[in-house]
Structures are given as C-alpha cells and as structure tokens.
Amino acid sequence: MKMSNLSWFAIILLLNQLSSASGGKILVFPLDGSHWVNMKVLIEELHAKGHQVTVVRTSDSWYISETSPVYTSVTIPYPGGFEDHFDVSLPQQLEIRLQSNPQSFWSRFWAQHQIDNMVIDQFFNFHKAASELIIQMFEDKNLMQSLHAAKYDVVLTDPGIGGGAMLARWLQIPLVNNVRWTIQGEAHFLLAPSPLAYIPFTATELTDKMTFLQRVKNFLSYNAGMYTLSMITEPNYKPIVKRYFGPDVDYSTFFLDADIWLMRNDFIFEFPRPTMPNIVYMGGFQCKPPKSLSDDLEKFVQSSGDHGVVIMTLGTLVGKLPQVVSEEIAAAFAQLPQKVIWRYMGQRPSNLGNNTLLVSWLPQNDLLGHPKTRVFVTHGGTNGVQEAIYHGVPVVGLPLFFDQPDNLSRVRAKGAAVIVDIAMLNRHIFAEALMAVLYNSTYREKMQMLSRLHRDQPMKPLDQAVFWIEYVMRHKGAPHLRSQSYKMSWFVYNSLDVIAVLLTAVLLATFICVSVLRFLWRIIFRREKVKHE
Amino acid sequence: MKMSNLSWFAIILLLNQLSSASGGKILVFPLDGSHWVNMKVLIEELHAKGHQVTVVRTSDSWYISETSPVYTSVTIPYPGGFEDHFDVSLPQQLEIRLQSNPQSFWSRFWAQHQIDNMVIDQFFNFHKAASELIIQMFEDKNLMQSLHAAKYDVVLTDPGIGGGAMLARWLQIPLVNNVRWTIQGEAHFLLAPSPLAYIPFTATELTDKMTFLQRVKNFLSYNAGMYTLSMITEPNYKPIVKRYFGPDVDYSTFFLDADIWLMRNDFIFEFPRPTMPNIVYMGGFQCKPPKSLSDDLEKFVQSSGDHGVVIMTLGTLVGKLPQVVSEEIAAAFAQLPQKVIWRYMGQRPSNLGNNTLLVSWLPQNDLLGHPKTRVFVTHGGTNGVQEAIYHGVPVVGLPLFFDQPDNLSRVRAKGAAVIVDIAMLNRHIFAEALMAVLYNSTYREKMQMLSRLHRDQPMKPLDQAVFWIEYVMRHKGAPHLRSQSYKMSWFVYNSLDVIAVLLTAVLLATFICVSVLRFLWRIIFRREKVKHE
C-alpha cells in the first residue's frame, strides 16, 4: 500500500514535470465587454497548446464567467458595474445625431460637440472605475501574494486599461499586449513614430492621403486628443502609480514594458505606417471558415437565386434603431431583387418587403462565408469588418460610435465600401449605396483582392500570435525587440537638446568672430583717425 | 508523322504552360563583388523553386560568370573594371592607420581624415563607373527591347547602385530590394523614421545608448554624411535620371519604388528601431549547418583536447597584414594552450607557435559550427559575423574598413565580442582580448543566447525571403505596404507647413486683438484728454 502511494506521488510529480515542460503558466488581465471576445480566442488556442491560463475578472462580470473549461479565474470583488460605462448613453448619442440637420455645418458641429462631451464623460467614468478596480486588486494582499507565488511565465493583457501592465511590473514577469487601443488612442501612437502628415489620428475618419486642410484637422485633433486624454488619466491613474510604484513613474511607461504587442490589425486593413520590431500584426486572427447554415436559413438564402443575399447587422451595442430610420431602411430593402437577412430588434417596420427576413440573431461568419452573400451592411465594428475582409464581401457602412467610422473609412479608402451617414439616411440614399455595391463590380473585386492578400501570409495570424506569446515565455521576455526610444523625453528623442547646443555654439562663434573683427576695425580706424588728426 | 509533330508541339506548349504556372520570370540586377555572394544564395533558392532567373552582368565581371546552371545572363559590354574601385587603396588605408599614434587624438584624427578622403574618392569613382554602366545599358536599345519583350514578373536588385530600380521603373514591373546599404548609408535611413537620439548613423560605431556628446557626434555625422553623399550622387546620377526619366525626378525615389525590402539584417544583430511594413528581415539567410571537416583538419582540431580551437580570418579583401602586426598576433597565439587555425597570406611569422596552423583558405562555416571552436577572430564582415551568431561562437574583432567597425560594435554591445584597434595592437593587448573571450564565460553565453534567438523564428530567413519575392510576383507588387511618406518633402512630412500656418494664425489673431484693444484704449484715453482739456 505504501509502495502504491509512493508510485502515485511519483506519477503526479512526473505529470507536473511534463506539463511544465510542454506548457507554461499565463496570467490574463483582459478588458471586459466586447474586447473579451477577442481575448477568449487567444485563450482557447493557448489552452489547446497545453498552457495553463488564469484570468483576472471582476465579481460582476457579465462576459467573463468564473468557471471555464479553458481557464481558471481569479475574481476581484468589485461591485461597481465595471463594463456598463459605454452602453448607457449610446441611444442618446444616436438621437442627438439624428436630430441634427445634416445640411447645416453648425448643427452638425454642435451635435458632434455634445456627443464628444458625452464620450469624454463615459471614458472618464470608465477609467475611474478601472482605477478603483486596480486599487482593489493591489490592496488585496492575499490575492497579490498568491499571484506572486503562482510564478506565472507571462502576463497577457488588453492595455485598454493599465491593470495588466502594472501587474506584470509588480510581479516582474514578461508582458504581452493584445491590443488595438491604449488610453492614448490607436496603439501605434504610443509606440511607433506617427508622422501626422500621413497618419490619421483616431476618430478623424481621415486617410493616409490628406489635403492641407485635412492635415491641419489631423494636427489639431491629435493635440486636442492628447490633452483630453491627459485630463482623463492624470486624476485617475497618477495616484495609483505613485502609491504602488513611486513618484517618478509615468503611467504610459507601463504599456511600453510590453515585450510583444499583438496588434489586432494588419496592413490589408490599416494604412501603411512606421512600425516597431516588437509589433506582431494578427489582424483577423479570429476569422475562420464558415460552417453550414441551418436548413431554414439555407433554404431562404438559396431562394435568392442569382441575385444573392444582403446581410445587415449593427452589432450588439445598439438594441434598436429609431423607427423612422428602420422604416427608411426597410423601404430601401423592399426595392431590391435580392433577399435580405436583417438582424433587427424593435417594432416591425410597416413597409417591410417580402424579400426581407428579420432575425434576432444571425450566424454572421457563416453567412459572410456563404457564396450567395453579395453585400454586408454593418456598423463597422472591428470584428465584422475583419470578417468581411476575410470572406471578401463588400460593405455598406452605417457607422455609429467609437472606432466604427475609422474602421469603415479604411475599407472605403481601399475601394471596398460605401459609407452612409445615419443622420442623412433616407430610402433613396440607402438604396443608392446598396445598388452601387451590388452592381458596380469594383467594390466586390477590391474586397476579394483584400481577402486574397489577407489569406496570403507566411503564417496564420492566430498561429503568429501564439508563436510570439510562447517566444516570450521561452526566452523570458524580448528586450532585444524593445527600442531605447521608450526611455526618452520628447525633447531628447527629437535631438532638440543637441540642436539647441549646436545652434548656441554657432551663434557664439559668430558673435566672437564679429566682436574680434569690430575690435580690430576700431583699432585700425582709430589709428587712421589719429593719423588724420 | 504530322500527327507526331503536332503532339510534340502540344507537349512543348503544355510544358511552357506548366512552367509558367509554377514558376515566374525574375530579372536580377546585382551588385558585383562580395555582394554577389549574398545574391547568389537567393538565386539558387529561387531556381530550386522553379523560377527562371536572368542576371544582368558586366563583360568584365570576375564574380558573376556568364553561364551558370541556375541562371541565364545578359551582359552589358562595360570594360571599365567595375568592381575594382574598392580594393585599390585598402592596403594604403591600413598603412595610414598603423602609422598613426593611437595615443594622440590629433594623430588619429588626421589619419581618419586621410582615410575618409580616400573612401570618398573610392565611392565617387565607384558611382561614376556605375552611372556609366547604367547609361551603357539604357543606350543599348536592342538590349532594353529584349528585356521588355521578355515580360519579367519582378526585378530583384541590390540597391547599392540604382540600376536595378531604374530598370524596374522603365519596364514598369514590381521591384524587390536585397539590401543592407543604399547610397544613403544603412538602408533604414532612406526608408524608415530614424531618430538620431538612439539610431547610430553609419560608420559612427555608436550604439543605441548614447551620451549627450555621442548624440552630438551622431547628429553631425549624419548631416556630414548626407552632404557627402549628395556630392557623390548629384554629379553622377542626376544627368541619367534627367535623360531617361525626366527633369523632376529625384534619384532616391527609385529605391523607394521597391515593393519589398529584404534586409540582410535582423534585431538579433541590429539595435531595435522603427521599421516599415514592407521591410522583411532575413539576417543570416545565408547561414547553414556545418559539414564535416577534411580528415587532416578534423585531426588537428581534435588534437586541441578540452582547450578547443581559435579560428582567425580577416576576409578576402586584405591579402596580407603588415609583417609587424602578424608577428604580434603570432606571438599572442603562441601563448595559448588552444590550437589556432589562421587563414594567412604572406611571409610566415618568425615566432609562430607550434599550436598555430597557417592555411590559405579555411571552411569558415564548418569550423564555426564545430563543437571544439572557442573563439572567432574576424575583421567583422557581415557574413562572418552572421555565421558567428548562427553558430554561437564569441568574437575577437579586428575591424579594418567599411561596415566592419559598425558590425562588431553591435556584437560588442550585446556582450558577445571584444574589439581590438589594429593601430594599438600588440601581443599583450591581443592576448588579453583572446583570454577574456576564452575564459570569461559571459561572452560565450551571450553569443549562444543570440544564436538561440536567431534560430527561433516563425520561418527560416531564406524561406521568408523567397516567400515575399513570390508574394510580389503573385500579387503584381505590394503597394498596400508602401507608405505615403515616400511622396512627401521633409517639410510636409514633419507638418512644418501646418505648424507655420497655425502659428501665423495665432500671431495674427493676437495682433488683431491687441490692435483693437489699443484702438479702444486710445479712444477712451482721448476722450479723457478732451474732457480734461
């Protein structure tokens, strides 16, 4: 019996040995809400590769469940409703936009101003909650002790808030960012040189080809954005950073600790721009081949014949559109010979065509991958746009909030989308946009080219992501990919101190030369004078 | 008989079809001399993948033979001795360096100045010859017509000179650069943002961590370098560009046409720095596992026992060292318990130790890959340094010319090399350097770490290179990876026009405000005055 106990113990030891040899220990500090959807794709893949994943979550999280077959969780007791900050005022924002007069510049300007203020308030409250959550975590000595004792190999985080980065620095272990946004806007702006002459700042809807006035707009937007962001971060994070890491630490340096930045982005979608050695592009890593549709849906799709189908969904954030907008959209759809599948909640439009199927949920990826799908009408969320690119389906965009206008303006710049301003939407404008994308073949051709390019990579984006997470674990970080620029002030970074000193030296030398010449001149002149006298 | 003829024709057609389906047509415009060694590795791999390669060469080329099993060639009749420009004054340069007094700043400064002038002369003559060669090519209407008629898919070039880029633009086909240097120094300086605060300019031997004075040196070197380069390019290339491409075309834009830049470089070797979406790093793509040594050499190596062997070679450019230097090196080697294999030409040093084997050629890669090899004494050519990294052998560097000091300073900065200044070399200093690298284990550990990192990539560098060449052929270019920055003046790129206009606007507004206030003030003041009068 004793012998058998010993063997059992030996087997457990061996299993531990094996599991630590094949897999590592990964601590995930995700961003709650829709970002979790992306992170979960990575976690599932890491689990499949034999790694042990632990996820930090809040007690009130709707998205991140406490138990899962692919991860264990650590719960921070935070009853503040962490994830709700963004959803609240969206219908209100939409209402303001719809009530503005799209023909009047001032009316639009005023509407945008009101919406901007709402968004800033949202962000402020969101980061206030985030900072409270971080304090909650750091103050829980038992939790921190157990995280330390668990000896994780790497922290994987979404740096929308800084909790994961702070945790990594506190635990002194490597850090990998799964990122598209940091608090400083699109992540590249924190990380890589971003000349404003051709890199459009977040939320400007500009492209990489700008007129002079657009460049002025971009320049002003960037500076206004940076100022606004400092108004949000300073009060919320400065006290935390001071409390746990000392007085001379800048909040943004935590993000820059990251060994690898896994960008949910690529240059099929993004405009070409400077990048850094520790950026890995994994845009569309969540995309996958379609599964077959349910029998009912397949039957409906097939009934479209050669005309094909139009898919429409505005994502999860907007429950329902104002009735007047829905009526116009329904009227436009009713004119089409295509069949339409519309994810719709709310009152059934009175003028709904026979060709239009309303559904409360649709299998987006499977429909986009269906050969009969002709156009995708979308609000322009990252996920939907990436799936449209992956499957090569051209887009009619109805951008509403956040990154949606920027996402769609990128696809439009590549010639694969038409964008309709929801404030200007009526049945004619919407029908015109649909017809253009349906019957002008260039949209489809451009999108299919993007799809071909997207699929033509040395390695699949998800495999890339996993490779680099494992790389950081294997080599205990990747400091050789992290540039020295992160440690410099903007003054030194731009060599302004060198230029100042050199200019001073030149001026000084000139001054001395001139002085000496004047001195000599005077001596000669005096002599002459003396002679003449 | 007729039937059989027809079948034969059909088979040929079919074969043509098959070969054009599997392989493409690649036009290579290489740089002659040592750069050809690198290019040939790529060509062999492309040939193995079923592509047809045509190489443009000069009639007097020593390196690039007219016939080859892996390529066909097109010969430009150019009897100018195109490749000789660099070898001529090298012994003279070495002599100047050795005769300078290494203890005296001014003596070293003067020696460097003389050498710099020689190098500039060399470069000028090299580019003069290159420009003549390009004219020769463009003036040969039959040649150009046949190149056009051949319908190549892509031009692959080493942009050390611009002939390949000009050819690609003239033929209107995609362009791939196999590159480490352009005429503007290290290739990144032409292509990617290169903040001088942490990116050392070519030939400064600086690292990415600089003191203030080093940053001043870097700043001045960059500007002096750019000025010198314009002195070399303007007279040599401006007339050609004007003649064949029009008056408003800038020479540097030809390089920036490239769809993909295959950099003979990576971040194991190079300091981390901004990069661009169309740069593919293929550093060490020429490295391969060692083959076994000849019986004699293996026996000699094995006789070293646990002490191991030291390998020394100074590359192909320097035929022989001055005797006084060789004697000192031999004396230092004689002190070692290791065996030494020294690639040496010239008079046998009088004090050569029994442990030292002189050879006129050595299988560098096979020796570096041998488990008994302890140290590699090298001049620091790119090839040797990359092979040392690949095999994890630490380095004692004796840099002589060109990029050699820069290459070695990178390996030193990573802790895997000791550099000896050849002007200061004596038996004690050299022995000390050897002993340090032999017996201080950190050098070996650091180099082995670099080796592990180098070998840990998602895809082998050579496979990467071929993938991206084929990618450009598949998609007929890669414009989506080429940023808009290439089309901008430095003024616009840095938003200086925007800043100027905004500043002017602010000043104007201030001026108007102040004027209005002064006007109002005067009115009030006058009234008061009038009242008082």
Q: Which residues of chain A are within 8 Å of residue B197 when distances are taken between CB atoms? A: 485, 488, 492-495, 498
DSSP class of B330: H
pLDDT in tens, A210-221: 999 999 999 999
Pick the residue of A256, A414, A468, A495 with the most B CBs within 10 A to test the interface with B by mutation.
Answer: A495
Name the residue facing B195 among A452, A493, A499 (closest C-beta).
Answer: A493
The reply to whether B396 falls in a domain is: yes
Flag if A195 and B198 touch (Cβ within 8 Å).
Answer: no
Is pLDDT at B527 greater than 60 in this prediction? yes
Residue A276 sits in the same domain as residue A356: no
The more confident residue out of B407 and B402 is: B407
Smallest Cα–Cα separation from A78: which of A34, A157, A143?
A: A143
Cite the beta strand spans of A60-219 per DSSP E. 72-76, 154-157, 175-179, 181-182, 185-186
Average pLDDT over residues B132-148: 94
User: pLDDT confidence of B86, banded at 50, 70, 90?
Assistant: low
Q: Which residues of chain A are within 8 Å of residue B452 when distances are taken between CB atoms? A: 475
Residue A32 sits in the same domain as residue A119: yes
pLDDT at residue B88, rounded to an integer: 62
The reply to whether A239 falls in a domain is: yes
- Please enumerate in sequence order all residues whose Cβ is within 8 A of that of B5, keeping only pairs 6 or more positions apart, or say none: none
Final residue belonging to a domain, choices B455, B477, B505: B455
Among the ranges A415-429, B9-23, B113-127, B313-327, which has the highest mean pLDDT value?
A415-429
Residue B423 and residue B408 in contact, taking contact as beta carbons nearer than 8 Å: no
User: pLDDT confidence of B9, banded at 50, 70, 90?
Assistant: low
User: pLDDT confidence of B317, banded at 50, 70, 90?
Assistant: low
Is pLDDT at B145 greater than 70 in this prediction? yes
The reply to whether A189 falls in a domain is: yes
pLDDT at residue A183, rounded to an integer: 80
pLDDT in tens, B204-234: 999 999 999 999 999 999 999 999 999 999 9
Q: Percent of chain B having pLDDT more than 90? A: 72
pLDDT at residue B1, rounded to an integer: 39
List the CATH number of the domain containing B372.
3.40.50.2000
The reply to whether B56 falls in a domain is: yes
Residue B76 dihedral angles phi and psi, to the nearest 5°:
-90, 120
Is pLDDT at B392 greater than 60 in this prediction? yes
Residue B260 sits in the same domain as residue B305: no
pLDDT at residue B2, rounded to an integer: 46
The reply to whether B35 falls in a domain is: yes
Residue A389 sits in the same domain as residue A317: yes
Q: Which residue has the tokens 């976690």?
A: A43
Residue B274 sits in the same domain as residue B316: no
Pure H helices in B440-495: 441-455, 461-474, 490-493
Flag if A267 and B277 touch (Cβ within 8 Å).
Answer: yes
pLDDT at residue B183, rounded to an integer: 79
pLDDT at residue A83, rounded to an integer: 56
d(CA A205, CA B115): 53
- Over chain B, what is the mean pLDDT? 91
The reply to whether B172 falls in a domain is: yes
How buried is A108 (Cβ within 10 angstroms: 0-12 exposed, 13-18 middle, 19+ buried)?
A: middle
d(CA A147, CA A167): 9
At residue A250's C-alpha, the angle toward residues A247 and A256, to 5°, is 140
Query: Closest residue of B to A200, CA-based?
Result: B484
The more confident residue out of A61 and B295 is: B295
pLDDT at residue B62, rounded to an integer: 81
Sign of CA dihedral B448, B450, B454, B456: positive
pLDDT in tens, B369-382: 999 999 999 999 99
ipTM, interface predicted TM-score of the complex: 0.91
Q: Based on the structure, what is the number of domains in chain A?
A: 3
The residue ranges of chain A whose pLDDT is under 70 are 1-22, 79-88, 316-319, 529-533
Residue A384 sits in the same domain as residue A481: no
pLDDT in tens, B57-73: 998 888 899 999 999 99
Residue B257 sits in the same domain as residue B304: no
Name the residue facing A458 among B192, B277, B458 (closest C-beta).
Answer: B458
Name the residue facing A272 among B219, B268, B480 (closest C-beta).
Answer: B480
The reply to whether A17 falls in a domain is: no
Flag if B488 and A268 touch (Cβ within 8 Å).
Answer: no
Residue A212 sits in the same domain as residue A174: yes
* Domain that residue B50 falls in: 23-285+461-487
Spacing of C-alpha B342 from chain mean position: 26
- Please enumerate in sequence order all residues whose Cβ is within 8 A of that of B362, keeping only pairs 6 or more positions apart, or say none: B311, B313, B341, B343
Smallest Cα–Cα separation from A183: which of A106, A147, A131?
A: A131
Instruction: Give A450→chain B minimum CA distance, Å.
Output: 10
3-state SS, B186-226, equals ECHHHHCCCCCCCCCCCCCCCCCCCCHHHHHHHHHHHHHHH
pLDDT in tens, B12-43: 555 544 544 468 999 999 998 888 989 999 99
Instruction: Give B267→chain A minimum CA distance, Å.
Output: 6
The more confident residue out of B261 and B92 is: B261
Flag if B278 and A272 touch (Cβ within 8 Å).
Answer: yes
Residue B161 sits in the same domain as residue B302: no
The Cα-based distances of B508 to A219, B496, B501, B513 in angstroms read 19, 18, 10, 9
Kind and range of the H or E run holding B230: helix B212-245
Query: Closest residue of B to A495, CA-based?
Result: B197
Flag if B275 and A272 touch (Cβ within 8 Å).
Answer: no
Residue B474 sits in the same domain as residue B328: no
Residue A400 and residue A313 in contact, taking contact as beta carbons nearer than 8 Å: no
Residue A194 sits in the same domain as residue A224: yes
- Residue B397 in 3-state DSSP? strand
The reply to whether A381 falls in a domain is: yes
d(CA A216, CA B489): 17
pLDDT at residue B321, rounded to an integer: 83
pLDDT in tens, B272-289: 999 999 999 999 999 999
Residue A233 sits in the same domain as residue A328: no
DSSP class of A480: G
> In chain A, how many H helices and how many E strands?
19, 15
Average pLDDT over residues B181-208: 92
